[in-house]
Amino acid sequence: MKIVKVGMIGFGTIGAGVAKILVDNGEIIRKRLGARLELVKVADLDITTDRGIELATGVLTTSADEVINHPDIDVLIELIGGYNPARKFLLQAIEQGKHIVTANKALLAKHGDEIFSAVTEKGLSIGFEASIGGAIPIIRSVREAFVANRIQSIEGIVNGTANYILSKMSDEKCDFNTALKEAQEKGFAEADPTFDIEGMDSAHKIAVLTRLAYGTLVPFDDIIVSGISGITSEDIECAREFGYRIKLLAISKYDGQAIDIRVHPAMIPVAHPMANVNGVLNAIRVCDDMMDENILIGHGAGALPTGSAVVGDVVEIARNILTGVGERLPAGSFQENEVKKIPLKDISEIESEYFLRFSVLDKPGVLSKISGILGKHSISIESMIQRGRGKGGEGVPLVMMCHKSSENNIQSALNEIEELNAVCEKPNLIRVER
Protein backbone atom coordinates (compact mmCIF):
# COMPACT_ATOMS: atom_id res chain seq x y z
CA MET A 1 0.00 0.00 0.00
CA LYS A 2 1.35 3.41 -0.98
CA ILE A 3 1.62 5.96 1.79
CA VAL A 4 1.75 9.75 1.59
CA LYS A 5 3.27 11.23 4.73
CA VAL A 6 1.80 14.32 6.27
CA GLY A 7 3.04 16.69 8.99
CA MET A 8 1.02 19.33 10.77
CA ILE A 9 1.92 22.48 12.69
CA GLY A 10 -0.92 23.61 14.95
CA PHE A 11 -3.09 21.21 16.92
CA GLY A 12 -5.91 23.52 17.94
CA THR A 13 -9.58 23.28 16.96
CA ILE A 14 -9.01 22.75 13.22
CA GLY A 15 -5.90 20.61 13.75
CA ALA A 16 -7.87 18.27 16.00
CA GLY A 17 -10.60 18.16 13.31
CA VAL A 18 -8.02 17.21 10.67
CA ALA A 19 -6.55 14.45 12.87
CA LYS A 20 -10.04 13.09 13.58
CA ILE A 21 -10.95 13.02 9.88
CA LEU A 22 -7.71 11.24 8.99
CA VAL A 23 -8.45 8.60 11.65
CA ASP A 24 -12.24 8.24 11.29
CA ASN A 25 -12.38 8.51 7.48
CA GLY A 26 -8.98 7.03 6.69
CA GLU A 27 -10.58 4.06 4.98
CA ILE A 28 -12.83 6.02 2.60
CA ILE A 29 -9.88 8.28 1.75
CA ARG A 30 -7.75 5.17 0.98
CA LYS A 31 -10.46 3.76 -1.27
CA ARG A 32 -10.64 7.01 -3.26
CA LEU A 33 -6.96 7.89 -3.32
CA GLY A 34 -5.49 4.43 -3.67
CA ALA A 35 -3.02 5.25 -0.92
CA ARG A 36 -2.98 5.93 2.78
CA LEU A 37 -2.41 9.34 4.36
CA GLU A 38 -0.22 9.01 7.43
CA LEU A 39 0.07 11.79 9.97
CA VAL A 40 3.67 11.34 11.06
CA LYS A 41 4.39 14.49 13.10
CA VAL A 42 2.19 17.10 14.74
CA ALA A 43 3.69 20.17 16.42
CA ASP A 44 1.99 22.40 18.94
CA LEU A 45 3.23 24.40 21.92
CA ASP A 46 0.59 22.64 24.01
CA ILE A 47 0.97 18.87 23.80
CA THR A 48 -0.80 18.02 27.04
CA THR A 49 -4.42 19.14 26.49
CA ASP A 50 -6.65 16.22 25.60
CA ARG A 51 -8.14 16.79 22.11
CA GLY A 52 -10.02 13.49 22.18
CA ILE A 53 -7.72 12.07 19.47
CA GLU A 54 -5.28 9.22 19.99
CA LEU A 55 -2.04 9.92 18.13
CA ALA A 56 0.69 7.26 18.02
CA THR A 57 3.56 7.69 20.47
CA GLY A 58 6.18 10.15 19.25
CA VAL A 59 3.88 11.92 16.79
CA LEU A 60 3.29 14.96 19.01
CA THR A 61 6.11 17.42 19.48
CA THR A 62 6.56 20.99 20.64
CA SER A 63 9.11 21.62 17.90
CA ALA A 64 7.86 22.95 14.55
CA ASP A 65 11.36 22.32 13.16
CA GLU A 66 10.87 18.59 13.68
CA VAL A 67 7.95 18.74 11.23
CA ILE A 68 9.59 21.15 8.79
CA ASN A 69 12.85 19.17 8.64
CA HIS A 70 11.32 15.69 8.77
CA PRO A 71 12.79 13.92 5.73
CA ASP A 72 9.75 11.70 5.06
CA ILE A 73 7.04 14.35 5.16
CA ASP A 74 5.63 15.16 1.71
CA VAL A 75 2.86 17.55 2.70
CA LEU A 76 2.99 20.07 5.53
CA ILE A 77 -0.26 21.43 6.97
CA GLU A 78 0.00 24.82 8.68
CA LEU A 79 -2.82 25.62 11.11
CA ILE A 80 -1.31 28.08 13.56
CA GLY A 81 -2.75 31.13 11.80
CA GLY A 82 -1.43 34.71 11.95
CA TYR A 83 1.50 36.28 10.13
CA ASN A 84 4.44 35.11 12.18
CA PRO A 85 5.89 32.58 12.81
CA ALA A 86 3.53 31.00 10.23
CA ARG A 87 5.24 32.86 7.36
CA LYS A 88 8.71 31.75 8.49
CA PHE A 89 7.59 28.13 8.94
CA LEU A 90 5.95 27.97 5.51
CA LEU A 91 8.92 29.50 3.71
CA GLN A 92 11.25 27.07 5.50
CA ALA A 93 9.02 24.11 4.61
CA ILE A 94 8.87 25.20 0.96
CA GLU A 95 12.65 25.49 0.98
CA GLN A 96 12.71 21.88 2.25
CA GLY A 97 10.58 20.85 -0.75
CA LYS A 98 7.35 20.22 1.14
CA HIS A 99 3.97 20.77 -0.46
CA ILE A 100 1.82 23.10 1.62
CA VAL A 101 -1.74 23.09 2.88
CA THR A 102 -2.84 26.06 4.95
CA ALA A 103 -6.00 27.65 6.34
CA ASN A 104 -4.16 30.90 6.99
CA LYS A 105 -6.12 33.67 5.23
CA ALA A 106 -4.35 36.44 7.15
CA LEU A 107 -0.98 35.27 5.89
CA LEU A 108 -2.19 34.80 2.31
CA ALA A 109 -3.89 38.21 2.29
CA LYS A 110 -0.70 39.99 3.30
CA HIS A 111 2.10 37.72 2.08
CA GLY A 112 0.33 35.58 -0.53
CA ASP A 113 2.57 36.81 -3.34
CA GLU A 114 5.73 35.81 -1.53
CA ILE A 115 4.34 32.39 -0.56
CA PHE A 116 2.88 31.72 -4.04
CA SER A 117 6.17 32.71 -5.73
CA ALA A 118 8.20 30.49 -3.42
CA VAL A 119 5.92 27.52 -4.11
CA THR A 120 5.95 28.13 -7.88
CA GLU A 121 9.73 28.49 -7.99
CA LYS A 122 10.12 25.11 -6.33
CA GLY A 123 7.45 23.43 -8.49
CA LEU A 124 5.40 22.59 -5.40
CA SER A 125 1.68 22.68 -4.67
CA ILE A 126 -0.23 24.81 -2.24
CA GLY A 127 -3.79 24.13 -1.09
CA PHE A 128 -5.71 26.77 0.85
CA GLU A 129 -9.34 25.79 0.41
CA ALA A 130 -9.86 25.91 4.19
CA SER A 131 -8.79 29.55 4.36
CA ILE A 132 -12.12 30.83 3.01
CA GLY A 133 -15.64 29.62 3.64
CA GLY A 134 -14.69 26.46 5.61
CA ALA A 135 -16.17 23.55 3.69
CA ILE A 136 -17.36 25.64 0.71
CA PRO A 137 -15.18 24.76 -2.32
CA ILE A 138 -14.75 28.39 -3.41
CA ILE A 139 -11.01 28.28 -4.14
CA ARG A 140 -11.48 25.19 -6.28
CA SER A 141 -14.41 26.87 -8.04
CA VAL A 142 -12.47 30.02 -8.88
CA ARG A 143 -9.18 28.29 -9.76
CA GLU A 144 -10.72 25.42 -11.71
CA ALA A 145 -14.48 25.38 -12.36
CA PHE A 146 -14.74 29.04 -13.46
CA VAL A 147 -11.36 29.11 -15.20
CA ALA A 148 -12.91 30.16 -18.54
CA ASN A 149 -15.06 32.93 -17.09
CA ARG A 150 -14.38 36.64 -16.62
CA ILE A 151 -15.35 37.18 -13.02
CA GLN A 152 -17.17 40.47 -12.40
CA SER A 153 -17.87 40.20 -8.71
CA ILE A 154 -17.41 38.01 -5.68
CA GLU A 155 -19.27 38.87 -2.54
CA GLY A 156 -20.61 37.10 0.42
CA ILE A 157 -20.95 36.23 4.03
CA VAL A 158 -17.51 34.84 4.83
CA ASN A 159 -17.34 35.09 8.58
CA GLY A 160 -19.28 32.48 10.51
CA THR A 161 -18.84 34.18 13.87
CA ALA A 162 -20.26 37.51 12.71
CA ASN A 163 -23.08 35.74 10.89
CA TYR A 164 -23.84 33.67 13.98
CA ILE A 165 -24.00 36.82 16.12
CA LEU A 166 -26.22 38.77 13.69
CA SER A 167 -28.53 35.79 13.17
CA LYS A 168 -28.89 35.21 16.89
CA MET A 169 -29.51 38.91 17.58
CA SER A 170 -32.14 38.85 14.86
CA ASP A 171 -33.89 35.55 15.54
CA GLU A 172 -33.64 35.27 19.31
CA LYS A 173 -33.41 38.96 20.25
CA CYS A 174 -30.27 37.94 22.04
CA ASP A 175 -27.65 40.53 22.96
CA PHE A 176 -24.32 40.86 21.17
CA ASN A 177 -22.11 39.54 24.01
CA THR A 178 -24.18 36.41 24.67
CA ALA A 179 -24.08 35.53 20.98
CA LEU A 180 -20.31 36.17 20.76
CA LYS A 181 -19.64 34.03 23.84
CA GLU A 182 -21.55 31.12 22.31
CA ALA A 183 -19.71 31.45 19.00
CA GLN A 184 -16.39 31.34 20.86
CA GLU A 185 -17.44 28.31 22.91
CA LYS A 186 -18.35 26.49 19.72
CA GLY A 187 -14.88 27.15 18.29
CA PHE A 188 -15.95 29.40 15.39
CA ALA A 189 -14.20 32.57 16.46
CA GLU A 190 -10.58 33.47 15.79
CA ALA A 191 -8.18 33.53 18.76
CA ASP A 192 -8.77 37.28 18.75
CA PRO A 193 -12.52 37.62 18.06
CA THR A 194 -12.17 41.30 17.13
CA PHE A 195 -10.90 40.02 13.76
CA ASP A 196 -14.29 38.36 13.24
CA ILE A 197 -16.44 41.16 14.65
CA GLU A 198 -14.60 44.11 13.16
CA GLY A 199 -14.42 42.62 9.69
CA MET A 200 -10.68 41.95 9.46
CA ASP A 201 -11.14 38.21 8.93
CA SER A 202 -13.61 38.91 6.11
CA ALA A 203 -11.16 41.41 4.63
CA HIS A 204 -8.41 38.78 4.61
CA LYS A 205 -10.73 36.42 2.75
CA ILE A 206 -11.97 38.90 0.17
CA ALA A 207 -8.38 40.02 -0.48
CA VAL A 208 -7.40 36.44 -1.33
CA LEU A 209 -10.51 35.91 -3.49
CA THR A 210 -9.90 39.19 -5.33
CA ARG A 211 -6.40 38.10 -6.23
CA LEU A 212 -7.64 34.76 -7.54
CA ALA A 213 -10.62 36.24 -9.38
CA TYR A 214 -8.96 39.10 -11.26
CA GLY A 215 -5.25 38.26 -11.16
CA THR A 216 -4.24 41.35 -9.24
CA LEU A 217 -2.07 42.28 -6.32
CA VAL A 218 -4.26 43.58 -3.52
CA PRO A 219 -2.80 46.21 -1.14
CA PHE A 220 -4.47 44.78 1.92
CA ASP A 221 -4.27 47.93 4.04
CA ASP A 222 -6.26 49.91 1.44
CA ILE A 223 -9.39 47.76 1.86
CA ILE A 224 -12.29 49.64 3.49
CA VAL A 225 -13.32 47.63 6.56
CA SER A 226 -15.99 48.14 9.16
CA GLY A 227 -17.48 45.53 11.43
CA ILE A 228 -20.68 44.73 13.26
CA SER A 229 -20.00 46.06 16.75
CA GLY A 230 -21.98 49.24 15.98
CA ILE A 231 -25.10 47.31 14.88
CA THR A 232 -27.90 47.64 17.41
CA SER A 233 -31.07 45.60 17.98
CA GLU A 234 -32.89 48.74 16.78
CA ASP A 235 -31.07 48.54 13.41
CA ILE A 236 -32.01 44.88 13.08
CA GLU A 237 -35.66 45.55 13.90
CA CYS A 238 -35.91 48.55 11.56
CA ALA A 239 -34.22 46.56 8.79
CA ARG A 240 -36.86 43.89 9.27
CA GLU A 241 -39.66 46.46 9.05
CA PHE A 242 -38.22 47.80 5.81
CA GLY A 243 -37.97 44.22 4.45
CA TYR A 244 -34.22 43.68 4.85
CA ARG A 245 -31.72 41.60 6.82
CA ILE A 246 -28.38 42.89 8.06
CA LYS A 247 -25.34 40.79 7.11
CA LEU A 248 -21.62 41.41 7.30
CA LEU A 249 -20.65 41.34 3.63
CA ALA A 250 -17.26 41.10 1.96
CA ILE A 251 -17.57 42.70 -1.47
CA SER A 252 -15.28 42.74 -4.49
CA LYS A 253 -16.54 44.12 -7.82
CA TYR A 254 -14.49 44.68 -10.95
CA ASP A 255 -15.82 46.87 -13.76
CA GLY A 256 -12.82 46.33 -16.01
CA GLN A 257 -11.14 49.55 -14.78
CA ALA A 258 -10.97 49.43 -11.01
CA ILE A 259 -11.91 47.16 -8.12
CA ASP A 260 -14.47 48.13 -5.52
CA ILE A 261 -13.40 46.09 -2.50
CA ARG A 262 -14.88 46.59 0.97
CA VAL A 263 -16.20 44.85 4.06
CA HIS A 264 -19.09 46.28 6.04
CA PRO A 265 -22.51 45.42 7.42
CA ALA A 266 -25.05 45.62 4.61
CA MET A 267 -28.82 45.49 4.33
CA ILE A 268 -29.98 42.87 1.88
CA PRO A 269 -33.62 42.35 0.85
CA VAL A 270 -35.35 39.40 2.56
CA ALA A 271 -35.87 37.79 -0.84
CA HIS A 272 -32.11 37.84 -1.56
CA PRO A 273 -30.69 34.29 -1.63
CA MET A 274 -28.18 35.21 1.11
CA ALA A 275 -30.73 36.85 3.43
CA ASN A 276 -31.61 33.55 5.06
CA VAL A 277 -28.12 32.17 5.28
CA ASN A 278 -27.94 32.13 9.04
CA GLY A 279 -25.82 30.98 11.95
CA VAL A 280 -22.33 29.85 11.14
CA LEU A 281 -23.21 29.25 7.50
CA ASN A 282 -21.33 31.22 4.85
CA ALA A 283 -22.50 32.13 1.36
CA ILE A 284 -20.42 33.35 -1.56
CA ARG A 285 -21.91 34.73 -4.77
CA VAL A 286 -19.83 34.80 -7.93
CA CYS A 287 -21.03 36.72 -11.00
CA ASP A 288 -19.24 36.49 -14.32
CA ASP A 289 -19.76 36.82 -18.06
CA MET A 290 -20.98 33.22 -18.36
CA MET A 291 -23.59 33.16 -15.64
CA ASP A 292 -25.71 35.68 -13.85
CA GLU A 293 -24.82 34.40 -10.47
CA ASN A 294 -23.66 31.27 -8.77
CA ILE A 295 -24.11 31.04 -5.03
CA LEU A 296 -22.27 28.58 -2.86
CA ILE A 297 -23.57 28.04 0.66
CA GLY A 298 -22.03 25.92 3.38
CA HIS A 299 -20.42 25.62 6.77
CA GLY A 300 -17.91 28.44 7.01
CA ALA A 301 -16.25 27.54 10.28
CA GLY A 302 -15.80 24.74 12.79
CA ALA A 303 -13.36 21.87 13.23
CA LEU A 304 -14.88 19.27 10.92
CA PRO A 305 -16.12 21.44 8.01
CA THR A 306 -12.81 23.33 7.88
CA GLY A 307 -10.85 20.15 8.63
CA SER A 308 -12.51 18.42 5.68
CA ALA A 309 -11.37 21.23 3.36
CA VAL A 310 -7.80 20.78 4.67
CA VAL A 311 -7.88 17.03 4.11
CA GLY A 312 -9.44 17.54 0.66
CA ASP A 313 -6.41 19.65 -0.29
CA VAL A 314 -4.01 17.04 1.09
CA VAL A 315 -5.71 14.35 -1.02
CA GLU A 316 -5.50 16.56 -4.13
CA ILE A 317 -1.77 17.08 -3.58
CA ALA A 318 -1.29 13.39 -2.80
CA ARG A 319 -2.83 12.59 -6.20
CA ASN A 320 -0.20 14.77 -7.89
CA ILE A 321 2.55 13.13 -5.88
CA LEU A 322 1.33 9.60 -6.63
CA THR A 323 0.91 10.20 -10.37
CA GLY A 324 4.11 12.25 -10.60
CA VAL A 325 2.42 14.97 -12.63
CA GLY A 326 3.60 17.92 -10.53
CA GLU A 327 1.44 20.97 -9.95
CA ARG A 328 -0.84 21.92 -12.87
CA LEU A 329 -2.52 24.93 -11.28
CA PRO A 330 -0.90 28.33 -10.78
CA ALA A 331 -1.01 28.93 -7.02
CA GLY A 332 -2.71 32.30 -7.37
CA SER A 333 -5.01 31.16 -10.21
CA PHE A 334 -3.27 33.35 -12.85
CA GLN A 335 0.18 32.70 -14.31
CA GLU A 336 2.67 34.64 -12.16
CA ASN A 337 3.74 36.91 -15.05
CA GLU A 338 0.11 37.80 -15.78
CA VAL A 339 -0.61 39.21 -12.32
CA LYS A 340 -1.23 42.97 -12.64
CA LYS A 341 -1.83 45.87 -10.32
CA ILE A 342 -5.45 46.93 -10.83
CA PRO A 343 -6.36 50.18 -9.02
CA LEU A 344 -8.83 50.09 -6.14
CA LYS A 345 -11.88 52.31 -6.28
CA ASP A 346 -12.12 54.95 -3.58
CA ILE A 347 -15.19 54.48 -1.37
CA SER A 348 -16.32 58.05 -2.25
CA GLU A 349 -16.78 56.88 -5.86
CA ILE A 350 -19.38 54.21 -5.12
CA GLU A 351 -23.13 54.57 -5.38
CA SER A 352 -25.60 52.80 -3.14
CA GLU A 353 -28.95 52.94 -1.46
CA TYR A 354 -28.59 53.76 2.20
CA PHE A 355 -30.22 53.07 5.55
CA LEU A 356 -29.62 56.02 7.89
CA ARG A 357 -30.13 56.05 11.64
CA PHE A 358 -30.21 59.29 13.63
CA SER A 359 -30.79 59.94 17.28
CA VAL A 360 -32.68 63.24 17.40
CA LEU A 361 -34.61 65.44 19.79
CA ASP A 362 -38.32 64.95 19.27
CA LYS A 363 -39.33 68.54 18.52
CA PRO A 364 -40.89 70.50 15.65
CA GLY A 365 -38.79 71.21 12.57
CA VAL A 366 -36.07 68.58 13.13
CA LEU A 367 -37.23 66.26 10.36
CA SER A 368 -37.54 69.12 7.88
CA LYS A 369 -33.98 70.29 8.67
CA ILE A 370 -32.61 66.77 8.12
CA SER A 371 -34.59 66.16 4.95
CA GLY A 372 -33.59 69.63 3.73
CA ILE A 373 -29.90 68.79 4.08
CA LEU A 374 -30.42 65.42 2.36
CA GLY A 375 -32.32 67.15 -0.46
CA LYS A 376 -29.57 69.75 -0.86
CA HIS A 377 -27.12 66.87 -1.45
CA SER A 378 -29.45 65.24 -4.03
CA ILE A 379 -30.45 62.42 -1.66
CA SER A 380 -34.02 61.26 -1.94
CA ILE A 381 -35.80 59.57 1.00
CA GLU A 382 -37.66 56.38 0.14
CA SER A 383 -39.30 55.60 3.51
CA MET A 384 -38.93 56.50 7.15
CA ILE A 385 -39.68 55.34 10.72
CA GLN A 386 -39.64 57.49 13.83
CA ARG A 387 -40.10 55.82 17.18
CA GLY A 388 -41.51 57.09 20.53
CA ARG A 389 -41.25 60.50 22.11
CA GLY A 390 -38.04 61.07 24.10
CA LYS A 391 -38.27 62.34 27.67
CA GLY A 392 -36.47 65.52 28.73
CA GLY A 393 -33.99 66.07 25.89
CA GLU A 394 -33.27 62.39 25.27
CA GLY A 395 -32.84 61.39 21.61
CA VAL A 396 -35.36 59.28 19.74
CA PRO A 397 -34.43 57.07 16.80
CA LEU A 398 -35.21 58.36 13.34
CA VAL A 399 -34.39 55.89 10.60
CA MET A 400 -34.80 56.19 6.86
CA MET A 401 -34.12 54.35 3.65
CA CYS A 402 -32.74 56.53 0.85
CA HIS A 403 -32.76 55.95 -2.88
CA LYS A 404 -29.48 55.42 -4.70
CA SER A 405 -27.00 58.25 -4.27
CA SER A 406 -23.27 58.73 -4.21
CA GLU A 407 -21.25 57.94 -1.11
CA ASN A 408 -19.65 61.34 -1.44
CA ASN A 409 -23.04 63.09 -1.16
CA ILE A 410 -24.14 60.90 1.73
CA GLN A 411 -20.97 61.58 3.71
CA SER A 412 -21.21 65.34 3.11
CA ALA A 413 -24.87 65.33 4.18
CA LEU A 414 -24.16 63.28 7.32
CA ASN A 415 -21.33 65.61 8.35
CA GLU A 416 -23.72 68.54 8.06
CA ILE A 417 -26.55 66.77 9.88
CA GLU A 418 -24.24 65.79 12.74
CA GLU A 419 -23.67 69.49 13.44
CA LEU A 420 -27.39 70.18 14.09
CA ASN A 421 -28.20 70.91 17.74
CA ALA A 422 -31.14 68.50 17.64
CA VAL A 423 -28.91 65.57 16.62
CA CYS A 424 -27.72 63.72 19.74
CA GLU A 425 -25.25 61.17 18.34
CA LYS A 426 -23.09 60.55 15.31
CA PRO A 427 -25.45 59.33 12.55
CA ASN A 428 -25.07 55.73 11.44
CA LEU A 429 -25.32 54.43 7.90
CA ILE A 430 -25.73 50.94 6.48
CA ARG A 431 -25.32 50.41 2.72
CA VAL A 432 -27.85 48.35 0.81
CA GLU A 433 -26.66 45.54 -1.46
CA ARG A 434 -28.89 43.63 -3.85
Please identify every residue annotated as catalytic. Answer: 205
- Find the part of the chain contacting ligand HSE (CB under 6 A) among 187-195, 228-236, 380-388, 419-427: 187-195
**Closest distance between ligand HSE and the C-beta of residue 90, in Å?**
18
Residue 420's alpha-carbon distances to 60, 208, 296, 366, in angstroms, are 63, 42, 45, 9
Q: Which amino acid is at 201?
A: D
Binds ligand HSE (CB under 6 A): choice among 17, 300, 312, 332: 300
Which one, 116 or 188, has the nearer CB to ligand HSE?
A: 188
* Spatial distance between the Cα atoms of 33 and 2, rounded to a whole number of angstroms: 10
In which element (H, E) is residue 431 found? strand 428-432
Which one, 206 or 373, has the nearer CB to ligand HSE?
A: 206
Quote the longest CA-to-CA distance of the chain.
83
* Residue 370: count of CB within 10 angstroms of its CB: 24
- Find the part of the chain contacting ligand HSE (CB under 6 A) among 155-163, 167-175, 315-323, 348-356: 155-163
Question: Do 155 and 252 touch, CB atoms closer than 8 A?
Answer: yes
301 is a site residue for ligand HSE (CB under 6 A): yes
Strands 99-102 and 126-127: parallel
Query: What DSSP state is assigned to residue 141?
Result: I
Binds ligand HSE (CB under 6 A): choice among 44, 129, 196, 313: 196
Which one, 196 or 198, has the nearer CB to ligand HSE?
A: 196
Of 308, 206, 207, 191, which is closest to residue 248 (Cα–Cα)? 206
* Spatial distance between the Cα atoms of 292 and 177, rounded to a whole number of angstroms: 38
Which one, 189 or 366, has the nearer CB to ligand HSE?
A: 189
Which one, 74 or 196, has the nearer CB to ligand HSE?
A: 196
Exposure string over 317-328, b if 16+ CB within 10 A, otherwise e: bbbbbeeeeebe
Of 226, 292, 236, 289, which is closest to residue 434 (Cα–Cα)? 292
Which one, 189 or 223, has the nearer CB to ligand HSE?
A: 189
161 is a site residue for ligand HSE (CB under 6 A): yes
**Closest distance between ligand HSE and the C-beta of residue 111, in Å?**
17
**Closest distance between ligand HSE and the C-beta of residue 305, in Å?**
9
Which one, 190 or 362, has the nearer CB to ligand HSE?
A: 190
156 is a site residue for ligand HSE (CB under 6 A): no
210 is a site residue for ligand HSE (CB under 6 A): no
**Closest distance between ligand HSE and the C-beta of residue 183, in Å?**
7
Range list of H helices, 186-332:
194-197, 200-214, 233-242, 303-323
Which one, 201 or 362, has the nearer CB to ligand HSE?
A: 201
Judged by DSSP in three states, 214 sits in: helix
CA of residue 90 relative to chain centroid, distance: 22
Judged by DSSP in three states, 12 sits in: coil
Count of residues interacting with ligand HSE (CB under 6 A): 11
CA end-to-end span of the chain, whole Å? 52
**Closest distance between ligand HSE and the C-beta of residue 35, in Å?**
29
**Closest distance between ligand HSE and the C-beta of residue 161, in Å?**
3
**Closest distance between ligand HSE and the C-beta of residue 184, in Å?**
10
* Spatial distance between the Cα atoms of 13 and 19, rounded to a whole number of angstroms: 10
Binds ligand HSE (CB under 6 A): choice among 198, 201, 316, 433: 201
Which of positions 115-144 make contact with ligand HSE (CB under 6 A)?
Answer: 134
Of 178, 158, 161, which is closest to residue 233 (Cα–Cα)? 178
- Find the part of the chain contacting ligand HSE (CB under 6 A) among 38-46, 183-191, 323-331, 418-426: 183-191
Q: Is 108 exposed, middle or buried (0-12, 13-18, 19+ CB in 10 A)?
A: buried
- Find the part of the chain contacting ligand HSE (CB under 6 A) among 17-25, 157-165, 323-331, 420-428: 157-165
**Closest distance between ligand HSE and the C-beta of residue 244, in Å?**
22
* Spatial distance between the Cα atoms of 288 and 34, rounded to a whole number of angstroms: 36
160 is a site residue for ligand HSE (CB under 6 A): yes
Binds ligand HSE (CB under 6 A): choice among 75, 169, 180, 189: 189
Residues that bind ligand HSE (CB under 6 A): 134, 159-161, 188-190, 196, 201, 300-301
